[in-house]
Amino acid sequence: MQFPALKEAAKLGTNKRRLFIGAYGFEPRTLGWVNFQEGQGGILNKVIMFRYIHSKGRNRVRDLRKALANIGAPNPIDIPHDLLSPHNIENKLSRQLVQNFAEVEEIVLDVSSMTKLLILVSLCMLTNFEGTLRIVYSESERYAPSKEEYDKSKEDMKMIARFPSYGVESIVRTKCLSSIRMQGQPVTMVAFTSFNEQLIRHMLGTISPHRLLFINGCPPSDDYEWREYATQEIHKRLIEEYANDNPTNEKGYLARATSTLKYNESIECIDNIYKQFGTYERIICAATGSKMQTVGLFFSKVMHPDIHIEYPTPDSYYVKGFSDGIKMVHEIEIPHFSEFLKKIKYKD
């Protein structure tokens, strides 16, 4: 199945009724798409914004509201989202999104400042939208942590890895991401590597998988190639424990790896996993990858509805900081969104 290309975001006009969905984040990329559209006039008719409670930093609410007003949306609808208690977000979204998207021809979903749970649930709630969906993402110029910060954190990582869990200790399961098919069968758990190994360890505290398959992340820039090795190094003990399921290539990197930006690579990777193990084993995916890997995970769920997705939310990070600058604003444009989803769903 051919998926729409990830391309540079388009400058939009006032020829369509349009809903914008985003989140008040604290990084510069929160304003990426909105500032990119500056000077385009009243291109938005409605706006829904997630406002984080217990956020990691000071959210750019005032700046974003001002920028949104400049492109036609002075009165956004705010949906509070408690990062420490995110379990009821599905019901909130179901009410707000469905009643608002019926009146528009196009939706812009800005995932740049959304949590992975918000990305997945928002896309789930839009599956019946018949118009054009634009999934937009602002790529940062510089990402945290730097290599120097990572190298300094290694001793702390060794200490933290001795403990079975750390942080909030919450795993979120939602109706739209769940599957009851093949319960009682052996479990293949699929997880994306990150800078937080505790996310996976916490999942293993509630699931006893038959096999654990890691998908490493490949940054799109050569300047960040070290991150592919770093995220693998963080998960070294678990990779060694499940070595038979996680082969490496000639460079010693995990053979199963996808771009942190090109979402279609994650779709292809999970599709291959499903074809190999999905007939006889239950597949549970942990939403632990990048934002665009998470977009790919959503489409994988649509293709294979019996995939079960869980979202681990411990408030623990080996390295803290935030990304800076805007390198490029990307988008995936999908006309007739609901019809597209029907076409990619496998007829089992």
What is the pTM assigned to this prediction?
0.93
Would you say 275 and 203 are in contact if contact means Cβ atoms under 8 Å apart?
Answer: no
Does the pLDDT at position 164 exceed 50? no
The per-residue pLDDT for 134 is 98
Mean pLDDT of 298-320: 82
The predicted structure's pLDDT at residue 142: 84
pLDDT at 159: 43
Predicted confidence at residue 28, as pLDDT, reads 86
pLDDT value for 54: 74
- The strand ranges marked E within the chain are 7-8, 18-23, 46-53, 77-82, 106-110, 132-139, 171-172, 187-192, 211-218, 257-259, 282-286, 308-312, 328-334
Name the pLDDT band for 168 (thresholds 50, 70, 90).
Answer: very low
| Structure token pair of residue 114 | 């959304």
Provide the pLDDT confidence category of residue 166 given band limits of 50, 70 and 90: very low
Asked whether residue 93 carries a pLDDT value surpassing 60, the answer given is yes
Residue 1: band (very low, low, confident or very high) from pLDDT cuts 50, 70, 90: low
Query: Which pLDDT does position 347 carry in this prediction?
Result: 55
Q: Is 60 exceeded by the pLDDT of residue 317? A: no
Residue 136 or 198, more confident: 136
Yes or no: say if 144 and 322 are a contact pair by the CB < 8 Å rule: yes
Percent of the chain at pLDDT exceeding 90: 63
User: What per-residue confidence (pLDDT) applies to 167?
Assistant: 42
To the nearest whole number, what is the mean pLDDT of the chain? Answer: 88
CB contact set of 43 (below 8 Å; sequence gap of 6+):
12, 13, 14, 18, 37, 71, 72
Q: Which of 40-49, 129-138, 197-206, 320-329 has the lowest mean pLDDT?
A: 320-329
Reduce the DSSP state of residue 48 to 3 states and report it. Answer: strand
Residue 139 has pLDDT above 50, yes or no: yes
Order of all β-strands in the sheet with 308-312: 171-172, 308-312, 282-286, 187-192, 211-218, 257-259
- Does the pLDDT value for residue 239 go beyond 60? yes
Domains recognised in the chain with CATH numbers:
7-142+324-344 (3.40.50.11700), 147-312 (3.40.50)
H or E stretch including 159?
A: helix 147-160
> Distances in Å between the alpha carbon of 191 and those of 87, 108, 270?
21, 28, 10
Q: What is the mean pLDDT of residues 216-223?
A: 91
Average pLDDT value for residue range 257-262:
97
57 pLDDT tier (thresholds 50, 70, 90)? low
